[in-house]
Amino acid sequence: MFVDKAKIRLIAGNGGDGAVSFHREKFVAAGGPDGGDGGRGGDIVFKVDDHLSTLLDFRYKRKYVAQNGEAGGGNNCTGKSAPNTVIRVPRGTVVREAQSGAILADLSGDEEVVICKGGKGGFGNARFATPTRQIPRFAKTGTKGESYDVILELKLLADVGLVGFPNVGKSTLLSVISAAKPKIANYHFTTLSPVLGVVAVPGGGSFVCADIPGLIEGASKGIGLGFDFLRHVDRCRMLVHVVDISGIEGRDPVEDFDTINAELAAFSDKLAARPQLVVGNKGDIAQDTSLEDKLRDYVEQKGFQYFSISAATRKGIDPLLLKISEMLTTLPPIEVYEPDYVKPAPELGRTFTVTQVEDGFEIQAPWLARILEQSNVEDYESLQYFQRALVDSGIIDKLVEMGAKDGDTVYIDEFQFDYIV
C-alpha cells in the first residue's frame, strides 16, 4: 500500500527532577546539601532511510513519546539523560505543524533533524546553597519537553515528472527508458501510485524520472487520483507532458493538453511555470495524422518543444532523452523547502494577571505555578523562596491594590492558599 500522508503526535521527554539530599557520612557532621541535577529529556529526531518508500508505518502508529530524563541523586549525582527517539522516514518527507500547516523540516538530505527538544533537568538542592541558606530543602523539577501534532507529506524527489491523462502511455514510456517495472494495462488508472525509475542517457549521464498517476479534469479539486499525487510533481525540475495522439479514445489531443496544464496551474503557479516538453505518444497506431499536426502546431505556438514517439516501439526515444538531459544541465537542483514555522514567543519576564472571583482571586502566571510545584510548603526556607517570588514580581502589590482581605482564597493553577496580611 502506498501511503504518502500521515498525521502523528510527537512528545519529547521531560527533564528529570533535581534531588533534595544531604550528605551523610560517618564522622562527618553537617555534610550539607548534595542533591544532584536531573537528566535531560530525550529529543524526537527524524532521519532519512532510503530503504523506505512510503509512510505506511505511520498509519498504524500515530504517537511517538521520548523517554524522560532520570531524577538527580545524592552525592551530587546527575540523573541520566534520556536517549533520543529516532523516527525514520523516506527521503523527501516534509514535516508540517498540523494546526498552521507551516514547515518544520524537509527531510531531503542525510542529516538528522530535531523536531521536538527534550526538557532540561531541574537543579538539585546543592545548587541553592548560599552562606545565608545553608540547608535548602527544595529543588527544581525538570522542564517539559516540546510536543507537536505534525503532518507528514511524502514528496518524491525526481528530476523529471511524467504527466498526462490516464492511459496515454506514461508507464510504458518509463518501462522502456528505465529498469522500473510499473504495471501496464489497457485501462484507465492502471497506475495507482507514483513510480520512480533511473534513466540512463545515451552517451553518458542519468536522471530520475517519476511516473505520476493519470490526472483528469478537476484533479486539483480532489477529483480522481490526481489531487493526492500532484504533490509528487512539486519537486520535479521539469515535466514531460505525454499526450495520446492516436485518437482511438475519441479525445482531442489539444483539449487534453490544455486540461492537464489548467489542473497544474490550479494546484500551483510554480508548477505551471515549470519547464515542459510535450510528447505525442502512440503515433504508430494513429488513424488520423491530422491530430498530431494540430497538436504540434498548437504547442509550438505556445513555446513548447514537441517530440513524436512510440513508447511501445521505442521510436523517437533517444532524441527525447538527449533533450531532457540537455535541459537538466541548465535547471536548478531539486527544490528543498525551508522551514517557515515560527515558534510562539517565549514568556517575557514574570508577567501575570489577577482576576477577582467569588471567594477570592485567581492568578494566571505559568512561571509561578512551576515555582509552586517545585516548592516544599512545609519547609520554611522553601516557602520563603515562593513568597519572595510573589513579592518581587509585584503580585502581592496587585492583590493589595485590588482590595484583598485577610482570609481571601488565592488560586494559582491547581493550587490554592489563604491570603494573610
What's the order of all strands across the beta sheet hosting 415-418?
Answer: 353-357, 360-364, 409-412, 415-418
The pLDDT value recorded for residue 345 is: 65
What mean pLDDT, rounded, does the chain reach?
85
The answer to whether 366 and 352 are in contact (CB under 8 A) is no
Name the residue with higher pLDDT: 379 or 177: 177
Question: Identical fold at 1-154 and 162-328?
Answer: no
Q: How many helices (H) and strands (E) does the chain have?
A: 10, 18
The pLDDT value recorded for residue 216 is: 58
Fold of 353-418: GMP Synthetase; Chain A, domain 3 (3.30.300)
* Residue percentage of the chain with pLDDT more than 70: 89
pLDDT at 85 over 60: yes
pLDDT at 380 over 70: yes
As a whole number of angstroms, the distance between CA 230 and CA 215 comes to 8
As a whole number of angstroms, the distance between CA 250 and CA 261 comes to 20
What is the pLDDT confidence band of residue 86, given thresholds at 50, 70 and 90? Answer: very high
Can you point out the beta strands (E) in 101-218?
103-107, 113-116, 147-154, 160-163, 195-200, 206-211
Cell of 247: 485518437
What is the pTM (predicted TM-score) of this model?
0.76
CA distances in angstroms from 310 to 97, 159, 197, 320, listed in the order given: 45, 22, 19, 11
The pLDDT value recorded for residue 305 is: 95
The answer to whether 72 and 18 are in contact (CB under 8 A) is yes
pLDDT at 346 over 90: no
Domain ranges of the chain: 1-154, 162-328, 353-418
Cell of 249: 479514445
Pick one of 3.40.50.300, 3.40.50.1820, 1.10.10.10, 3.40.50.150 as the CATH number of 162-328.
3.40.50.300
The pLDDT value recorded for residue 318 is: 92
Q: What tens digit of pLDDT does each residue of 174-231 get?
A: 998 988 776 665 655 555 667 888 898 888 789 999 888 766 555 445 544 545 667 7
Q: Pick the closest to residue 355 from 394, 404, 391 (CA basis).
A: 404
Cell of 116: 521536538
List the CATH code of the domain at 1-154. Answer: 2.70.210.12
210 CB-side CA count, 13 A? 25
Q: What tens digit of pLDDT does each residue of 56-76 get?
A: 889 889 999 999 999 999 989
As a whole number of angstroms, the distance between CA 83 and CA 40 comes to 9
As a whole number of angstroms, the distance between CA 104 and CA 118 comes to 16
- Our measurement of the distance from residue 279's CA atom to the centroid of its chain's CA atoms, rounded to an integer in Å, reads 36
- Our measurement of the distance from residue 297's CA atom to the centroid of its chain's CA atoms, rounded to an integer in Å, reads 44
Q: What tens digit of pLDDT does each residue of 298-309 get?
A: 999 999 999 999
Q: What tens digit of pLDDT does each residue of 237-280 get?
A: 999 999 999 888 888 899 999 988 888 888 888 888 899 999 99
Report angle CA 29, 80, 67 to the nearest 5 degrees.
140
Q: What tens digit of pLDDT does each residue of 3-20 get?
A: 778 999 999 999 999 998
Mean of the pLDDT values across residues 384-407? 86
